Amino acid sequence: MQPASQLHPVSDPADKIRVDLAAAYRLVAHFGLDDSIFTHISARVADAEDGTGRFLINPYGLRFDEVTASNLVTVDLNGRIIDDPYGAGINAAGFTIHSAVHAARHDVQCVLHTHTVAGVAVSCQAEGLLPLNQWSLQFHDRIAFHEYEGIALDLDERERLVNDLGDRKVMILRNHGLMTCGATVAEAFKLMYNLERSCKAQLALQASGAPVHRPSDEVARKTAAQYSGWSDKHGHNRPDPEWEAYLRLLRRTQPDFEN
């Protein structure tokens, strides 16, 4: 099996989805949100001529810091692998979760799932993420929950997962981890980055034992609306200065992600 570094580079430099998805994998690793070779990020690509949906996902067995634009696997919603440059296939549990969302939510381009210590810890708490600070208020009344059913290998779980997700972009998978969805790869990553920080801040506060001061419900709703308003104002078809800053970081430190 060829090392990732020896695979052919992306022939079309305009293939932004592939490059952005590879960047998201590298950024998840860079910020310590990965879990060995497990968890996944996927991105919808153009449907086949027969209308069958397709998405990109990581090759099974690669660390996230080994993922490049050219070694991503293309798979359809039925689990048929269309293109597998690395030759290692994909993780079955990753297919179950990601195919469910891509089949049901055509407004979603990217699905990002993590098993971080902070995210798993909060997923085990009865109330989930608490509205305690500016980071977490972004998600006030915007989080879906899905009960743990074991490792996600049963395809019939997909219906329950998407029913629980509804039209939301953030989900806490009970006793399991976190998931975000975005109209772009950038949106899904930024939601996860802030969700992770919110979980870490919550655990730090709980561990301190200090009395907790909660913002009012009115302020919580206002702050969440402010976050949503900023996203609506800037849209997903305009340059994203925060995402471009992340790409500059990778181009300086890990330029092979675009290969």
Task: Break the chain into its structural domains and give their ranges.
Answer: 13-234
**Residue 211 and residue 221: Cα distance in Å, rounded?**
23
Q: How far apart (Å, rounded) are the C-alpha atoms in residues 21 and 164?
A: 25
Work out the mean pLDDT of the chain and round it to a whole number: 91
Q: Which fold has domain 13-234?
A: L-fuculose-1-phosphate Aldolase (3.40.225)
Residue 101 reports pLDDT greater than 50: yes
Residue 233 binned pLDDT confidence (cut-offs 50, 70, 90):
low
CA distances from 222 to 23, 58, 167, 244 (A): 32, 38, 20, 28
Q: What is the pLDDT of residues 179-203, one digit of tens each?
A: 999 999 999 999 999 999 999 999 9
Q: What whole-number distance in Å separates Cα of residue 256 and Cα of residue 66?
A: 9
Q: Is the pTM of this model over 0.85?
A: yes
Per-residue pLDDT of 16-69, as tens digits, reads: 999 999 999 999 999 999 999 999 999 999 887 777 799 999 999 999 999 999
